[in-house]
Amino acid sequence: MNQNISDREILEGFKRNVGNRSCIALKGRMRMTITRADGTIEERVTENIVVKDGLNHVALMVIDDAQSTFKYLAIGTQTAQHSLGSVQGGIGEVGRKLGSLLAGSNEVAVIVATWAGQVDGLTSLDLRTGAMLNHASSGSGILLNAVNSVATILADSDFLKLQAEVQIGSHAL
């Protein structure tokens, strides 16, 4: 049986993008925007790690709609590099917020939260870790992804906006 042109093109595109891997890996990014009291803005984008417990939870969501969604962001003081085995207790959490923006398109999930130095009690803390979780309470929930390069200390009137992104696949076929 011959493949038609479009099937062949899709298969070749998939091979170019995926290579010999058996699947497309999940990717995570954390976008950090720090707005200082004097009006200066610092922006960084860092790839983060999607951890095994989060991956397992995503898989469960396919077959069990009772699973909770990842709509919370946490900030922490942990400086050690995160790994596939990282868990919620390893982020040194000092604050958690419900995402103010939830979006999903082109196989990318996006959640954003903003912290204010004095208002959120984060002044003078060496903030290092940003993370996406599925529970509202500090110290609870499953960690989906984490990055340890937030690297900022907020003053009273400073703001930190975290935008966590998880790419589930690719339309670049």
When comparing pLDDT for 56 and 96, which is higher?
A: 96
Q: Three-state SS for 57? A: helix
Whole-number average pLDDT of the chain:
79
Domain locations in the chain? 27-167
Decide: 103 and 110 in contact? Cβ < 8 Å: yes
Q: What is the pLDDT of residue 6?
A: 59
pLDDT(63) > 90? no
Q: How far apart are CA 117 and CA 170, in angstroms?
A: 37
> Element (H or E) spanning 46, and its range?
strand 41-50
Query: pLDDT tens digit string along 65-122?
Result: 666 788 899 999 988 777 667 777 778 899 999 997 766 665 677 889 999 999 999 9
Cβ-contact 86, 153 below 8 angstroms: no
Each residue of 116-144: pLDDT tens digit? Answer: 999 999 999 999 889 998 888 888 888 88
